Amino acid sequence: MDLTQQEWSEKLASDDNAQILDVRTDDEVAEKHIPNAKQMDIQNPPKFMEELQKLDASKNYYVYCRSGSRSAQACAILKSQGFENCYNLLGGITEWEGETVS
């Protein structure tokens, strides 16, 4: 499900079962990222799939990338693997107005 910045942050703030996933590269994450996000680089498919197997399917996943394209792809993969609750951040971290860590 695609969510706007406001929808994503509001839903995340009230979700006690949330996990944030950052599907960008190491270099992108080093520039800035959302606090408490777990990185899973979707541009490294074998590693991404390996990390995906370690995730708890009962959690709600809030996924972002730079602009929203890779995170949409990641959500599709998660759904195909049986993860029911996956939320894509439209506009990615490029448009994110919430807290970040450098």
pLDDT range class, residue 98, cuts 50, 70, 90: confident
Q: How far apart are CA 8 and CA 90, in angstroms?
A: 9
Largest CA distance in the chain: 33
Confidence of residue 102 (pLDDT cuts 50, 70, 90): confident
> Which of 80-97 are b and which e, b meaning 16 or more Cβ less than 10 Å from the residue's Cβ?
eeebebbbbbbbbbeebe
75 noted as active-site residue: no
Report pTM: 0.94
Element (H, E) at 19: strand 18-22
Per-residue pLDDT of 11-61, as tens digits, reads 999 999 999 999 999 999 999 999 999 999 999 999 999 999 999 999 999
Q: Please, where are the H alpha helices in 4-84? A: 5-13, 26-31, 45-52, 69-80
Edge-first strand order for the sheet with 18-22 is 2-3, 86-89, 60-64, 18-22, 38-39
- pLDDT digits over 48-88, tens only? 999 999 999 999 999 999 999 999 999 999 999 999 999 99
Active-site position among 65, 72, 74, 89: 65
